[in-house]
A and B are shown apart, each in its own frame.
Chain A
Amino acid sequence: GAGVSQSPSNKVTEKGKDVELRCDPISGHTALYWYRQRLGQGLEFLIYFQGNSAPDKSGLPSDRFSAERTGESVSTLTIQRTQQEDSAVYLCASSPPAAGTQYFGPGTRLLVL
């Protein structure tokens, strides 16, 4: 079956531009997470959506970062006025209800020049 998909797979942008990253979770998965992973570093939690509950935004590093999710479907992560330190792989993961495991997408590799 279809796994978590993310688009674009790679994105190169200029400093100061806005970017939008997309995640399509596995159908029926109520939980959706966004992570950032810089080169050679661990996963950095950004935001967590669970069903219709208020999202946990505690990991967003600044107000330039925002994310939305429509119901239990697609999510978009938006980075405004990108900076070079935003360069990283942005990973999305989804989980079925009441389950303890996550399924990751392949990530979007963002490079800010």
Chain B
Amino acid sequence: RKEVEQDPGPFNVPEGATVAFNCTYSNSASQSFFWYRQDCRKEPKLLMSVYSSGNEDGRFTAQLNRASQYISLLIRDSKLSDSATYLCVVSRHYGGATNKLIFGTGTLLAVQP
């Protein structure tokens, strides 16, 4: 079983739709959580961190449920430019004072005009 699991999609949605992505992680010792975005043929880039209380950045809302080991990303009012692969990322202790980031394989979103 992979340490970070995501539905690969694709999610095909019309412009203006609301779409939600889910992610589960298996290591309960995971400490920090993130969503990254990867555009086609580009490198991944940080979209937002995920906090226990939930957090919002414009049209994007991220939530974390530590008890269920579950992370979500909600995108409201989808734009064509939101089309990309969304990567769920967790950080866990590796050794000493260091952490290691574990990436999910990503969920592909295609927003249609």
* Chain A contact residues, CB within 8 Å of chain B: 30-31, 33, 35, 41-43, 45, 48, 50-51, 53, 56, 91, 93, 95, 98, 100-102, 104-107
Contacts and interface: CB of A to CB of B under 8 A. Distances in A.
Given A42-B103, A106-B43, A107-B43, A100 B32 contact: yes
A52 B103 CA distance: 23
B105 A104 contact: no
Nearest to B4: A42
A94 B102 CA distance: 13
A41 B105 contact: yes
Interface in B83-113: 87, 91, 94-106
Contacts of A98: 97-99
B45 A95 contact: no
B96 A43 contact: no
B25 interface: no
A54 to B, nearest CB: 8
B72 interface: no
Contacts of A35: 103
B49 interface: yes
A43 B99 contact: no
Interface residues of B, number: 25
Q: Is the interface of B mostly helix, strand, loop or mixed?
A: strand
Interface of B: 8, 31-32, 34, 42-46, 49, 87, 91, 94-106
Contact of A31 (B49, B98, B104): B98
A43 B103 contact: yes
A104 B45 contact: yes
Contact of A100 (B42, B91, B96): B91
A60 to B, nearest CB: 15
A102 B45 CA distance: 8
Contacts of B34: 100-101
A61 B100 CA distance: 19
28 contacts: A30-B98, A42-B8, A43-B44, A43-B103, A43-B105, A45-B102, A45-B103, A48-B100, A50-B95, A50-B100, A53-B95, A53-B98, A56-B100, A91-B43, A98-B97, A98-B98, A98-B99, A100-B49, A100-B99, A100-B101, A101-B34, A101-B46, A101-B49, A102-B46, A104-B44, A104-B45, A105-B43, A106-B43
